Structure 1
């Protein structure tokens, strides 16, 4: 059983596939951390957009602001920061598609749509998931609901896992390549992928399955340049069932608060 494990970093990503915000504490809600991936950018066909197809999204950084956040373009300082509130209003609505799900969404402002269209060089819209929307976790394979995250409410990564990977790479990569919500220190590399039930502070979480990684991990989040690493190095020793694994998909307790420095205790492992 693991000992001396500590919650070292907490991240929210207010807009799916844009930059994250490191926070010192976060409220846990039924579909993940509060404000995490509740906004989504969609194209002219109302299909979700990510860095997989539009690597330039990596250049859009997110900064905390009062009751919301700012989006900036790191390569285009002439674009003034765009303010977005944490929540939208139901004045304009539409259906959007994310993976195999079609869900009801609230529109952002015309100003936000125009700013993002200019920043990304193509027509797009900003939409919000309200609490009324029930998008099933992992297409219903796991109980619960999820935001605009790919499939699960939380992604957990151990710092030791990244350190071990970086020891193999020709050039180290930062944690932001993997977009975790929860990062812990202590323990052994990749041990989180075997965790079942574990406690952070007083809150109980459930590890479900290791996370299969995509090409987003090969995009430099500072420049939006694509490369071969870290997937090329990871593939020979981290591939399971045809996917390169890194981190653990996790479901949570539905309510509570997490704080940096919370102790972490593993209670069961996956069989």
Structure 2
């Protein structure tokens, strides 16, 4: 089994960037979920409520990100400008992030149709990871999301219209030996980086959003099928959430090893 895909999403809910080689740190893949759109009060804005966000394309450049959206001139977000403390809330977590450029707020407000703020996580995160003293990015709950290609293939065999990996916004993609075997993992190693499996990843309506057009599937797929076939204790699940035990470089083709199983027989 091998690592077959890696994706970084610098701005939460926007289009991901595929990498062949990336640094895996305690916060996740380098530059993943470092930026967040919020309301003026600091509540997160995501593609769950504003699916047009998936059409925003992000380029990583030295010192910040370059943002693209069809019909609008590109705009650069420079980290050194983001110096004003601002409240941020991701689900139940409330913490301090950084605001800085009203031009970017206006650029996004025109896309979203509402007032908003663009926030940067900062050189050091102010958000604590659940259940420990480690830090966390703007990701939903854990630093990494892994998807098994074999599980996606099994899901697609049940769908009239197959979906892509991008519907599930993973960081890591592996070619497991069989579908849903990731449910059995407790500790894994990819290359030289070891990961604890924290829990299965509960899914939501965002899986029904076409990652290219931003339009929702009127049939509610693939979530409708997942509700029928993948209802676990943690919710309707696809993929697994991880945190890294150590840091290091990951390269496509790196071997996947299962160090500990969740169940013993």
1:169/1:230 contact within 8 Å kept: yes
Structure 1's unaligned 5+ residue stretches are: none
The separation in 2 between residues aligned to 1:209 and 1:72, in whole angstroms, is 34
Partner of 2:171: 181
1:51-101: per-residue Cα shift (whole Å, max 9, x none)? 11111212212234455432222xx32x0112234x445532211211111
Query: Is 1:215 the counterpart of 2:215 in the alignment?
Result: no
User: Using a 3 Å threshold, how does the CA distance of structure 1 residues 151 and 242 change in structure 2: closer, same or farther?
Assistant: closer
1:241-260: per-residue Cα shift (whole Å, max 9, x none)? 37211001101034211111
Partner of 1:167: 157
The separation in 2 between residues aligned to 1:254 and 1:108, in whole angstroms, is 32
Partner of 1:48: 44
Report the RMSD for the aligned CA atoms in angstroms.
1.7
Structure 2's unaligned 5+ residue stretches are: none
The TM-score with structure 1 as length reference comes to: 0.90
Counterpart mapping for 1:92-171 below 5 A: 92-137=84-129, 140-141=130-131, 144-171=134-161
1:18-40: per-residue Cα shift (whole Å, max 9, x none)? 11111111112221111000100
1:208/1:251 contact within 8 Å kept: yes
The TM-score with structure 2 as length reference comes to: 0.92
SS in 1 for 2:97: strand
2:200/2:234 contact within 8 Å kept: no
SS in 1 for 2:228: helix
The separation in 2 between residues aligned to 1:20 and 1:194, in whole angstroms, is 28
2:194/2:246 contact within 8 Å kept: no
Q: How many residues align?
A: 261
SS in 1 for 2:152: helix
